Structure 1
Amino acid sequence: MKYLKFFSRWFVGVLLFVTYGALAQVATISQNYFVSQIKVTDSAMFFDGNKVTGKHTENNPNGFDYIFGDALSPHGDCIKVYKNFVFMTWYHGGKDDRRVMLSRLNTKTGMLKTIAFPHRHTGFKGKWWLGESHNTIAVGISPKNDSIHLLYDMHRNGRVNAFADDYLRYSYTLDGAATVPDEQFNLSLFVNSKAGHYKHLAFPGINDIETTKLLTYPAFFTGDNGDLFMKMRFGFSANGKMLFARFDGKQWHGYTDFNRVLASEHGSKYNWGLYGDFKYVGGKFRVAFQRRSKNKTDKYLYQNGIYYAYSDDPIGVSNWQNAYGEPIALPLAKSELIKIAEPGDWAKTTKKDQVSIVHGFDFTVTDDGDEHFVSQVKDLEFDQVINLHTFRKSGSKEFTTVKYETGSQLYTAGNYVYLIGLNNGRVNIARTKGGESNFKVVYQHKQGPQFDKGVLYVADGKVYYYLKKADGEGDKRTLYLQVFNLKS
């Protein structure tokens, strides 16, 4: 009966989903870098229960239990800026709701419009009552036809029997949907599916269903020529590959594998997976990551190294090179061919599994070609945390690695590289000139709400920071958007 009651609420929700519209209250303060702040919602889904293991099956009547992290909004590739619009994704709380939501802020009119979708967060391996923080909602915009693309609630769904006909959660709009007037921004812009839930089981143009079934960590980015790229991981943590596909405004092309699974069968000593990112920055298609190897005898508990390659091909299919301009063939099996640094060498310990590298990795490249990487090393034996900055000025051959104090995410605007993150719950911005390591704090926000999580996007010299308020009770939390101007 409990399931039947839940299904009834879910079905009614599907029939009654609506577009939420509200005039955003934009507070503009002329204070240094700060531009504006709006509240996006007071109803973002939050896991307020206990952290449990993957073997847990019970439904906690007193909270929303979870497997990994306690917050799924904002998380992942959840914010994009396109023309005068800011797009933000989130799940609607609480535990019995869990709907996929897409908000659009029109920065010219101040109007915030939100679309509610039928799909609800399906939880850990189909157990909807267990929160799964891998299952982010990614949003991408195609500059070639102004269409919106969403990928959500995906963590190797093809391995779950209950998802035999629900392994890909992909929603997309008609041409021009991203820029429609405020009053037209609603669910009717999205192309419905045969099942009536706006989810499609394939990318138009891609027929590789077996790969599609096992994708995780969806994200989007755009190239200089206006192509929209989708990137994901296929496989597992220590035996996985990164791949991408390309949308040309009409259909998808792919998949293109950057590396191989089962690398040990293709010349590598061990199988390995990768934790990093594809980006189109500094005029090139690039990838940088840290490797998680199947080697269980070394000092690394999880990842090691910095691995980096780029392509001059605007669609990323050919002409891949390592950091020193030497050609490499895809899919890559020997990760050593593109290794540029070893952060683990900065740890004192030599004992097995005592170097932990899982957080703090990012990279960017300036328009001038200055390359910058940050990483964080934890020496478990000596209880030390080491933040490292690896960089190379354009035209130089070798990389330099130094310690630095401000750990955060890397971004570039103009001739500067920025580290942007939270300090004491509020936005902190540090910068250095490209090709240097002289980070100095240029702005610390000191008023308004305090936050404990955020995802940001930099566009046209501005930071759009999508933030979760730190305090709150129950299975809902408050989300804000703050905007900062990067003055050079």
Structure 2
Amino acid sequence: MNDLKEQTLTNAKIRITYTIKLFAIVLFLLSFKNTFAQKVEFLERSEVTNEGLYFWYPDKNGEKVKAFHYAPSISPRGDCLTVVNGYIFFGWYKGGMKNGRDLMISRKKIGSGKWVTVQLPHKNTLIGPKVNSWGDSHKTISIGVSKTDGTVHVFYDHHNDPLKYIVSKKNTAFAKDSDFKIGMFNKTRGYLAAGQNVTITYPAVTENDKGNLIVNYRKGSAVGGNEMVHVYNGSTSTWSKAKMVIRGSGKGFVETKDRNYAYAPAPVLAGGDLYYGFSVRWARKKADGVLNEGVYVANAGSTMTGAWKDVDGKTQPMPIQDYSPLLIDLPATKDGKGSSGGPSMAVSDKGDIHISYRGRGNDTKYHYTYVRKAGQTEFTKHSGVGKTGIAYGDRIYNTSINKSKGIITIQSTAAGEFKYRNDLVYQTKDTLGSSGVRLVDGNLVVIAEDRGDTKTDSQGIFSYVFKISDDNVSTPPPTSGDITASWYKVKNVSTGRFLQGVPSSTVIQTNTGQSGYDKQWRLVRTGTGSYFNIDNRKASNSNSSGMLAEGANNTIVGTQTEPVKFQSDKQWSVISLGNNIYQFKLKKNNRFLSQNSSNKGVLVTSGSANTTKWQLIATSTALSKTSEKENILQTDDITTVAVYPNPARSSFNISLKGITKADISISNMLGKLIYKNTTTSGTLEIINEEKFAPGIYLINVVGDGKSYQRKLVIE
């Protein structure tokens, strides 16, 4: 392996633009209101605990007492947070340097309920002297959840140490709160695959589109480590044996002078594949204080255990040892000291790639962002700013925190571009510290420590949840109360034919008739995001279609199963085109639901044809007598139904203008029905009485043959 300085940029695909961009953030302290495009909204704030661990000792004789190695924050830190099926899972250590440090696992359903916490009989291990031992912030918690068998996987307290791993019993992850308890977790063990005990550093757990869990970690030292991978199969509830995917050491393979380790954050899932971005730390440069150099990226496939490719699709020999084909750039750093971490990366499902790399220190001159739009062959380099985020839909979302002021700012840019806009600036009540961020199914979750009291080893930890509606993913059409309780006729714009369920899981077809439950469909949220199952009204049995899913040769079939299902071949995004016209795009491959010349349901790559456009007609809405092809939903008069005050706290009013009798239902953002009533009054006052937790609610009013929807914010 050649020295990085000896490598050239011959293999790097990069177009450099040395324009330093200054991003001025105008802080409008909006709380719940957003004057920008209505894409991001605050959903809820909750306290996880008031006793999270912080490495700190009281001063002694007026002098500070060392309490930590590397950093004082440990909860949250690392891969300790995940969001699955609308639940937040968070691993943390209990406060108290001497009597605390217990391993804790907490869970909360987004939009409802409280945090449920399990205290496991294990502790974070201190290092250093026997008296006033130090905390080691490398010894983080990593957590993963299997959708397939409902197991919770916990890795904890590692820094080149024997594995400490706990897995729960099956169906624990999504059990009711009263069943989420210590008895559901098995004892700590030192192996994943039976008979293969491992030593581990920096484990990261990622779920792919197939429902597998992938854990990757370092085996070996910081300047001579190999990257190892195991895959968890939820169908068999077993881990594969370790596979080396990157070789940085090994007698007979890597000379002593060339030992190294490829430092990387957790891999990024996009379009069914995991992308791995890393920088290299060389053993021979350790004495000079040089850390992680270069920006390298690979497509590691769906499990990281098969063939890896460079960003242009060329397959590389495994395990990866020659990094040069994966090189994007060798950015300059202050005094040539490299970076303290690896590059951050976001990749869209279409293949847009965003990478940021920050040299050591605070000088932004040595911060860089690389962007390559899907279909292009070169990266554009932006010097003076290192900024990426998390891909969702067709945008990249960046979350930044002004810790001392307690401000969370969410910005986004179109994937493949570098034009960030402010989506939301949220003023918290807290002084924030270390944090973790996840964006899953439209839920952006921030977990942060409260540093209001700086002289403590036991502090608060808070959760903030924001709802994102992507530019190309709309919320579903109007519903009555619970989103799963409304049914629609789905009519093709081009042919006027109605989507029809058929028995025995055969290909879905369309029909000119519009009556019957086999032509009625509902949209059911999967988790809490902007993906849905599309479900037929007939009962799910051998004589019905059940949910829509991908079949052979780009056909659409029925699954004969009930929602909710989380496989990507059964999840659809709903794209609003206006006038009650929608498109449905499959999560698995971004193909559109369409109708072919044989009146069969099929998937197509382009959404330009009218055969990919569908009108949703509520079953409670009468069809026009004139022409079946001209049926439309009745329009909503915004002056008919008003909600005030909004935002509200203890009470609010619903004004009904010209409606003699109305059925009113109020649901939270998960579709859960919170309130239901029928009134003949012109104004209805609703007293909160703790029914409505702080957050966003959808009000549905049905009266005199029309349906009206309003949004309500409870502070």
Code of the residue aligned with 2:240 in structure 1: it is H
CA drift at 1:299: 8.8
Aligned partner of residue 442 in structure 1, secondary structure:
strand
User: How many matched pairs?
Assistant: 424
The 1:291–1:120 alpha-carbon spacing in structure 2 relative to 1, beyond 3 Å, is: same
CA drift at 1:265: 5.1
Residue 375 of structure 2 corresponds to residue 395 of structure 1: yes
CA distance in 2, matches of 1:202, 1:266: 26
TM-score, length-scaled by structure 1: 0.80
CA drift at 1:68: 1.4
Residue 393 of structure 2 corresponds to residue 414 of structure 1: yes
Higher relative contact order (CA 8 A, sep 6+): 1
Code of the residue aligned with 1:118 in structure 2: it is P
CA drift at 1:474: 1.7
- The C-alpha deviation readout for 1:88-115, integer Å capped at 9, x for no partner, is 1110010121100011112354121100
What does residue 548 of structure 2 align with? Answer: none
Code of the residue aligned with 1:482 in structure 2: it is Y
What does residue 44 of structure 1 align with? Answer: 52
Counterparts of 1:374-389 in structure 2 under 5 Å? 374-378=356-360, 385-389=365-369
Counterparts of 1:129-148 in structure 2 under 5 Å? 129-148=133-152
Check whether the contact 1:371–1:435 (CA below 8 A) recurs between aligned residues. yes
- The C-alpha deviation readout for 1:205-248, integer Å capped at 9, x for no partner, is 34332xx1x21112211011000111211111221122211110
Residue 161 of structure 2 corresponds to residue 182 of structure 1: no
What does residue 188 of structure 2 align with? Answer: 199
The 1:62–1:266 alpha-carbon spacing in structure 2 relative to 1, beyond 3 Å, is: closer
Residue 433 of structure 2 corresponds to residue 452 of structure 1: yes
The 1:125–1:180 alpha-carbon spacing in structure 2 relative to 1, beyond 3 Å, is: farther
Counterparts of 1:54-453 in structure 2 under 5 Å? 65-95=67-97, 96-107=99-110, 109-124=112-127, 129-157=133-161, 167-191=162-186, 198-203=187-192, 205-209=193-197, 212=198, 214-249=199-234, 250-262=237-249, 266=253, 270-276=258-264, 277-296=266-285, 301-312=290-301, 314-344=302-332, 347=333, 353-359=335-341, 361-378=343-360, 385-403=365-383, 405=385, 407=386, 410-423=389-402, 424-453=405-434
- The C-alpha deviation readout for 1:167-221, integer Å capped at 9, x for no partner, is 3211111110001111111001112xxxxxx211222x34332xx1x21112211
CA drift at 1:86: 0.9
Check whether the contact 2:226–2:249 (CA below 8 A) recurs between aligned residues. no
Residue 444 of structure 2 corresponds to residue 463 of structure 1: yes
Aligned partner of residue 123 in structure 1, secondary structure:
coil
CA distance in 1, matches of 2:418, 2:146: 35
- The C-alpha deviation readout for 1:42-71, integer Å capped at 9, x for no partner, is 1011111399xxxxxxxxx99671111101
Check whether the contact 2:269–2:347 (CA below 8 A) recurs between aligned residues. no
TM-score, length-scaled by structure 2: 0.56
* Segment drifting more, 244-253 vs 385-394: 385-394
CA distance in 2, matches of 1:414, 1:144: 24
Gaps of 5+ in 1: 1-28, 52-60, 158-166, 192-197
CA distance in 2, matches of 1:435, 1:230: 28
Code of the residue aligned with 1:228 in structure 2: it is L
CA drift at 1:357: 1.5
CA drift at 1:84: 2.6
The 1:447–1:46 alpha-carbon spacing in structure 2 relative to 1, beyond 3 Å, is: closer
- The C-alpha deviation readout for 1:252-278, integer Å capped at 9, x for no partner, is 003121211327954787221121132
Code of the residue aligned with 2:436 in structure 1: it is V
Aligned partner of residue 134 in structure 2, secondary structure:
coil
CA distance in 1, matches of 2:288, 2:373: 31
Code of the residue aligned with 1:129 in structure 2: it is S
CA distance in 2, matches of 1:429, 1:174: 37
Gaps of 5+ in 2: 1-30, 35-40, 472-715
CA distance in 1, matches of 2:203, 2:212: 17
CA drift at 1:386: 2.7
Code of the residue aligned with 1:89 in structure 2: it is G
Q: CA RMSD in A?
A: 2.8
Aligned partner of residue 296 in structure 1, secondary structure:
helix
Code of the residue aligned with 2:138 in structure 1: it is H
| Regions of 4+ moved over 4 Å | 61-64, 125-128, 297-300
Code of the residue aligned with 1:145 in structure 2: it is D
Check whether the contact 1:356–1:379 (CA below 8 A) recurs between aligned residues. no
Check whether the contact 1:379–1:385 (CA below 8 A) recurs between aligned residues. no
The 1:401–1:169 alpha-carbon spacing in structure 2 relative to 1, beyond 3 Å, is: same
Check whether the contact 1:370–1:391 (CA below 8 A) recurs between aligned residues. yes
CA distance in 2, matches of 1:409, 1:360: 13
CA distance in 2, matches of 1:104, 1:215: 26
The 1:241–1:306 alpha-carbon spacing in structure 2 relative to 1, beyond 3 Å, is: same
What does residue 459 of structure 2 align with? Answer: 477
Aligned partner of residue 258 in structure 2, secondary structure:
coil
CA drift at 1:360: 7.3
Code of the residue aligned with 1:432 in structure 2: it is T
* Segment drifting more, 316-325 vs 258-267: 258-267
Check whether the contact 1:264–1:271 (CA below 8 A) recurs between aligned residues. no
Code of the residue aligned with 2:114 in structure 1: it is M
* Segment drifting more, 266-275 vs 360-369: 266-275
Check whether the contact 1:281–1:366 (CA below 8 A) recurs between aligned residues. yes
The 1:403–1:85 alpha-carbon spacing in structure 2 relative to 1, beyond 3 Å, is: same
CA drift at 1:309: 0.9
How many percent of aligned residue pairs carry the same amino acid? 23
CA drift at 1:441: 2.6
- The C-alpha deviation readout for 1:294-315, integer Å capped at 9, x for no partner, is 3439998211111111144x33
The 1:438–1:360 alpha-carbon spacing in structure 2 relative to 1, beyond 3 Å, is: farther
The 1:360–1:335 alpha-carbon spacing in structure 2 relative to 1, beyond 3 Å, is: closer
Check whether the contact 1:171–1:199 (CA below 8 A) recurs between aligned residues. yes
Code of the residue aligned with 1:293 in structure 2: it is W
CA distance in 1, matches of 2:398, 2:241: 33
